[in-house]
Copies of this chain bind each other. A is one copy, B any other.
Amino acid sequence: MHETRDLARFITGSRWETLPQPVRHEATRALVNWIGCPIWGGRDEAVTRALAALDPFSGPREAALLGRAERLDPMKAALINGIASGISDYDDTHLATVIHPTGPPACALLALVERHRVSGAQFLHALALGIEVQCRVATALAHGASGAWFMTGVTGGIGAAVAAGLALGLDEERMVWAMALAASRAAGSRETHGTMAKHLVAGCAAEEGLFGAFLAQQGFGAPDAPIEGKRGLGTLVAPGADFSALTEGLGTSFELMRNAYKPFPSGIVTHAAITAALELAREAGLDPEAVATVRLAVHPLCLELCGRRAPASALEGTFSVYHWVAVALIHRAAGIRQFSDGIVRDAAVAALRERIDARAEPAYRKDEAQLEITLRDGRVLRRHVDHALGAVERPPSDDALTQKLADLCADRFPREAGERLAQIAWGLADEPDAARLVAAATLR
């Protein structure tokens, strides 16, 4: 019953320099992988509408909106950047819990650094621990939680509070309160999927994390055991919660190392099927016209979360394994350039979607899939994928992450500006002022 306090003690006692080198490098990779997402999503209609709604209430405009020119107060900037980061569903995924851990702490930090100076190393340290705590809370709550919970929302505020709390230099007691205040607002429903409301979670989590840290800084008290307490988050969300996951191996075993970076802008549970389709299409030089039927076997969660048969928009397409398998077979590519309403509505893609039959295979891992294509001439092509591209076992190279960032920035920034952003992000640990990262990610 003191896991939150133990976490807070570890967090406030931790230093960037003493994190293992692979963890420090992975924090940088998480940032590079993620930061293109809010830039790409920044001009989406959902962002524009949220901005129109909230701009009249903005306080001092001390924080930048990524990929845009406007500025807002830090709490609203964190919210809007978080909304933008979720548009493409192209961010990172802690596969064991299916949460997207970088957005909430990163948005809280990006909103803070122009007001409150922190070094690049402090930024990455706070990001690494925000991600770490968030993944550990999600792991603890994975036992018995309904699949209806949107766990990024449930855990993201706590991760953002940790990151913001570290940047603000909170002591152990106030770090507990910051986490507890965020935990008391933890929310998130998968009913939102397929609507603009889905994009809110990372943004609200980031804002609520800042809120918790700012209130705790002023001595606003909160419970000691917000997660593991009798009426805490565990009881509310996950009747079988295993709180030992909050602290076991803390400082030696890092969940950050089990964070995956998406090669495809769709639900992570679709990635094994897309990998199979891409590999088969490329190796066999497949003519999509020649395809009679496609049979797919996937982990049950793939169909539960991404079983939409006939998406009507790119947004809905992110929840359709049928769509992205069809795209991969036809385009032999499944990147951000294939994420468009036009491709979702394309007649050839729609026709192929309808010829795909998918079944749930409970024995599969989440990143495993099998694809069987029957051609019109009767031939059958098969591909079994043990680990999806982008899975922890098949991580993208640093160069692949640089390319992903460049693709996401392509329509937003001149090429040199995108390259400069990548350079600053990769070298952030040596930057004296993390605000340089924000400046490079903003239109001016």
Contacts and interface: CB of A to CB of B under 8 A. Distances in A.
Nearest to A181: B197
A282 interface: no
A184 interface: yes
B222 A148 contact: no
Interface stretch (A136-144, A185-193, A359-367, A436-444): A185-193
A221 B236 contact: no
A263 interface: no
What is the oligomeric copy number? 2
Interface string A176-188: 0100110111111
A235 B148 contact: yes
Interface in A221-268: 221-223, 225-226, 229-233, 235-236
A85 to B, nearest CB: 16
Given A58-B59, A59-B58, A183-B189, A220 B197 contact: yes
A50 B184 contact: no
Nearest to A154: B187
A184 B189 contact: yes
B189 A187 contact: no
Given A59-B58, A197-B222, A222-B196, A191 B53 contact: no
A200 interface: yes
- Which residue among A149, A211, A220 has the maximum number of chain B CB atoms within 10 Å of its CB? A220
Contacts of A147: 231
Contacts of A148: 230-232, 235-236
A50 B185 contact: no
Contacts of A53: 214-215, 217-218, 220
A60 interface: yes
Given A59-B58, A148-B230, A222 B236 contact: no
Contact of A195 (B50, B183, B223, B235): B223
Contact of A50 (B197, B215, B225, B235): B215
Given A200-B184, A222-B196, A230-B148, A57 B57 contact: no
B185 A230 contact: no
A182 to B, nearest CB: 10
A24 to B, nearest CB: 31
A60 B74 CA distance: 15
B46 A232 contact: no
Nearest to A54: B214
Contacts of A218: 49-50, 52-53
A204 B225 contact: no
A47 to B, nearest CB: 10
A230 B149 CA distance: 11
Given A53-B220, A191-B226, A222-B195, A185 B204 contact: yes
A214 B200 CA distance: 14
Contacts of A57: 59-60, 73-75, 214
Given A53-B215, A57-B59, A59-B56, A46 B189 contact: no
A212 to B, nearest CB: 9
A147 to B, nearest CB: 8
A206 B187 CA distance: 16
Contacts of A52: 218
Interface string A47-83: 0011011101111100000000000011100000000
Nearest to A47: B220
Contacts of A226: 189, 191-192
A172 B87 CA distance: 26
| 8 residue pairs, one from A and one from B, having the closest CB atoms | A148-B231, A197-B222, A190-B231, A57-B59, A191-B231, A53-B214, A187-B187, A191-B232
Interface of A: 46, 49-50, 52-54, 56-60, 73-75, 146-149, 153, 177, 180-181, 183-197, 200-201, 204, 211, 214-215, 217-223, 225-226, 229-233, 235-236
22 contacts: A46-B221, A49-B215, A50-B218, A53-B214, A53-B217, A53-B220, A56-B60, A57-B75, A59-B59, A59-B73, A148-B236, A180-B195, A181-B200, A183-B189, A184-B191, A185-B200, A189-B231, A191-B229, A192-B226, A193-B231, A194-B223, A196-B222
